[in-house]
Amino acid sequence: MISSPSSIPDPATDDATDAPARAHPTVRLKPRTEARAIRHGFPWVYADELVTDRRTQNLTPGSLAILEDGDRRVVGLVTINLKSKIVGRMLDRDADAVIDQAWFAARLQRALDLRARLYDAPFYRLVHAEADGLPGIVIDRFGDVAVVQPNAAWAELHLDALVAALMQVTGVTTVVKNGTGRSRTLEGMKEETTVVTGAITGPIPVPMNGATYMADVTGGQKTGLFYDQRPNHAFAASLAKGARVLDVFTHVGGFALAALANGAVSALAVDASAPALALAEQGAAASGFADCFTTRQGDAFDVLEAMGAEPDRFDVVICDPPAFAPGKNSLEAGLRAYERLARLASPLVAGGGYIVLCSCSHAADLQAFRSACARGIGRGGRKAQLLHTGFAGADHPMLPQLAESGYLKSLVFRLD
């Protein structure tokens, strides 16, 4: 059969058919960089893995680009920021994906479906960054209020579309942008906190584990409340009926309020922040625990040193510090701090009582953290049984390929 003229390929247009114009520039992995991990779900490209020619160096931080491997095969759509050690973050396996309100809405709906199945009230972490397909973005929900942490440059550039999709999918009426923290500094961004839409009139009451916590979503630490400890609060509270409780690094009431909700006879909450302790006291009053809740302000290590010379002992002692080892360069010092904390806290536990030691340092893996705690307890003159190992709640899912997404560890020991 003779082909008609219209069916004969035209050499002049054949290349355009095979290689259509792309909406974004192309960046490429170095020839010897293995793309298999990224194809299998690892979400990051490090600075030493990417070809950084002049064209790539001129890309605005947060720009979208199509990532190719060393053989020029397309890997997916990434965001690029050469100011960060993580120069590339995978957004979509589809290199032609359009990052608009509809794209954000699809990701947010998937995240919301999970949380709605887990919780009967809208108080939870709605988006946990890479694990929810939105790299560098954290969103905590407080009823009709959502706090967004755009911790990567691309999220800052697309904030309007993200907020519009967030309100569309969840129905929240107030959105706060919390632009603070170490992650933004590493991305080369300034710190700022603003109310994007709606209004905040004061701390927000948050029901959790039978207590009421007060979250300051505009001036408090991080988004105003740590939802990740919810299951660990509950486990520690299960040991606290009839107990005297000491909660060190309490923030806005943390473990102490959950313990009182489960029948603890008293709770002493320690924190360096006077505003956080004031919110903890408000939460205790709102929960009906004001008469059995007391606070003590001061540096945790100084307070523990002083309490060691005092007569009071407690049935349950909890230490939930900030990250002592936020990166590999601080790992050894961080492990020494965890060991010291266990050494100072364990003598304050009454015989047969319990100590709960927590770490939110992703650089300190579970084995290293557990070893540091065991050394500290031993140096504190106590023998221990390890009863329970806890992690972040299910609203903080892990991306299996990214160890950093499983940062939280909670160890519960029974002491002799």
The CATH class given to the 22-92 domain equals mainly beta
* Phi, psi values for residue 165, rounded to 5°: -65, -35
Domain ranges of the chain: 22-92, 101-197, 220-415
pLDDT tens digits for range 19-58: 456 789 999 999 988 888 999 999 999 999 999 999 999 9
CATH number of the 101-197 domain: 3.30.750.80
**CATH 3.40.50.720 correct for 220-415:** no
384 strand-pairing partners: 415
Same fold, 101-197 and 220-415: no
Query: What pLDDT sits at residue 381?
Result: 97
Query: What pLDDT sits at residue 20?
Result: 55
Strands (E), 203-256: 204-208, 211-215, 244-248
The DSSP string of 277-334 is HHHHHHHHHHHT-GGGEEEEES-HHHHHHHHHTSS--EEEEEE----S-SSGGGHHHH
Cβ–Cβ contacts within 10 Å for residue 174, how many?
20
Using the CB atoms, write b or e for 272-306: b if 16+ within 10 Å: ebeebbbbbbbbbebbebeebbebeeeebeebbee
Q: Please list, in sequence order, all residues whose beta carbon lies within 8 angstroms of the beta carbon of residue 314, skipping any fewer than 6 positions away.
A: 243, 244, 245, 246, 268, 348, 349, 350, 353
Catalytic residue among 292, 319, 358, 360: 360
Residue 50 identity (one-letter amino acid): L
373 given a catalytic annotation? no
pTM of the model: 0.92
CB half-sphere exposure, 200, CA atoms < 13 A: 25
Which segments of the chain have a pLDDT < 70? 1-21
